[in-house]
Structure 1
């Protein structure tokens, strides 16, 4: 079995995936908040 050495794995892809997930989550939250505000102003 291979010996584990902390900090040697290339995690570039995982970091990019996480950054994309965070960006998507923030944009989705903002879109939901905008929709709620518009619904509140329209009175639906």
Structure 2
């Protein structure tokens, strides 16, 4: 079995996936907060 050498693995694809997940989560939270504010204002 080959030994692992720190820093040799290409993680470009994992970084793209992580950044996409963060972007999706950020926009999801913004939309949910917007909907809650709309519901609070429309119910007054």
Superposition pairs of residues 4-43 of structure 1, within 5 angstroms: 4-43=4-43
The alignment's TM-score, normalised by the length of structure 2, stands at: 0.96
Deviating 4+ runs (over 6 angstroms): none
Cα distance in 2, alignment partners of residues 27 and 3 from structure 1: 40
| Matched length | 44
- Give the unaligned 5+ runs of structure 2: none
Offset of residue 10 of structure 1:
0.1
- Give the unaligned 5+ runs of structure 1: none
